Amino acid sequence: MKRVAGLAAIGMLAALGSAALAQQRAYSPGPHNIELPADWQQRFIRYTTVDRPDRKIIRNMYVNPEAFAALTAGQPLPYGTLAIMADQRARVDAQGNVLLDGNGRLIPEPAFIAIAAQQKERGWGEGYGPELRNGEWEYAVFNPQTGAWVDRPLNACFTCHLQARAQQDYSFTTWDYANRAR
Ligand code: HEC
């Protein structure tokens, strides 16, 4: 009995091992690696918002709670970081000028109009050339209504984050949040 259980356990370990290998081999660069979790709006932490009057939008920056808890100043962002940038349109007057609230901030319209994401996982990034590769990060854009991937070119995501933020783990506000004086 014991030996059968032992053999079964060995079989299971072997199966798990090859599944893990298959998964590793299955990595191919691209936005399909990032999934928008169904419950992200409930679960993720909105750590900052950025007003962009130039574009008449408000950008809400979210990160998954596991990564949020592990953010450390001066350190690369943790594996498993999923940063989500959800844009809202800013309210405008009849002339199309942005309106401000009592604190001088833009006033968001309720709906999200665009969702962009960047995620870092061990082993990702393999296959991108040096002009594009952002360490172990991938990028994706999602339809804010359906949560499905938006099929669009993403090279600009890589080049801009690479050129501006290679020394900050390719991150803008998540890095700044982790490194601000707290
Ligand atoms: C021209 C430069 C540029 C391009 C192109 C660009 N980004 Fe960014 N990204 C930024 C800046 C700057 C911020 C900080 C917010 C702001 O100031 O608007 C940012 C913030 C983000 C964030 C929030 C996390 C963080 O670290 O601030 C995500 C997620 C993101 N970008 C994903 C993308 C995706 C996906 C694309 C491509 C569809 C993309 N970015 C294209 C410059 C860029």
Contact yes or no for 85/77 (Cβ under 8 A): no
pTM recorded for the entire structure? 0.88
Could you give the domains of the chain?
A: 28-178 (3.50.70.20)
Instruction: Specify the pLDDT at position 14.
Output: 56
In our burial notation (b when 16+ CB lie closer than 10 A, e otherwise), range 61-73 reads bbbbeebbeebee
Instruction: Give me the pLDDT at residue 67, please.
Output: 98
Tens digit of each residue's pLDDT (9 = 90 or more) over 109-154: 999 999 999 999 999 999 999 999 999 999 999 999 999 999 999 9
pLDDT score for 1: 45
- pLDDT, residue 96, reads 97
Question: Which atom, in ligand 1's list, is nearest to the CA of 160?
Answer: 2
* Residue 120: C-alpha distances to residues 50, 100, 169 (Å): 22, 35, 10
Nearest residue by C-alpha to atom 22 in ligand 1? 85
Ligand 1 centre to CA of 71 (Å) is 19
Q: Which ligand 1 atom sits closest to the C-alpha of 175?
A: 26
Indicate which residue's Cα is closest to atom 7 of ligand 1: 157
pLDDT at 26: 85
* Euclidean distance between CA atoms 71 and 49, whole angstroms: 18
CA of 83 to the centre of ligand 1 (A): 10
The pLDDT score that the predictor gives to residue 18 is: 55
Q: For 106-110, what is the mean pLDDT? A: 98
Find the residues whose C-beta lies inside 6 A of ligand 1. Answer: 50, 52, 59, 61, 83, 85, 116-118, 139, 141, 154, 156-157, 160-161, 171-174
Q: How far does residue 84's CA lie from ligand 1's centre (Å)?
A: 10
Contact indicator for 144, 115 with CB cutoff of 8 Å? yes
Our measurement of the distance from residue 164's CA atom to the centroid of its chain's CA atoms, rounded to an integer in Å, reads 17
Compute the distance from residue 27 Cα to the ligand 1 centre, in Å: 24
Region 79-106 average pLDDT: 98
Which amino acid is present at 14? Answer: A
pLDDT score for 50: 98
pLDDT, tens digit (0-9, with 9 covering 90-100), for 3-53: 555 555 555 555 555 555 555 568 999 999 999 999 999 999 999 999 999
| CA 123 to centroid of chain Cα atoms | 16
Cα dihedral 166→169→170→173 (10° resolution):
-120
- CA of 95 relative to ligand 1 center, distance in Å: 29
Tally Cβ neighbours within 10 Å of residue 155: 11
Q: Which atom of ligand 1 is nearest to the CA of 156?
A: 5
Residue 14 or 101, more confident: 101
pLDDT for the residue 151: 97
Q: How far is the CA of 34 from the centre of ligand 1 (A)?
A: 16
Instruction: Report how far apart the first and last C-alpha atoms of the chain are (Å, whole number).
Output: 58
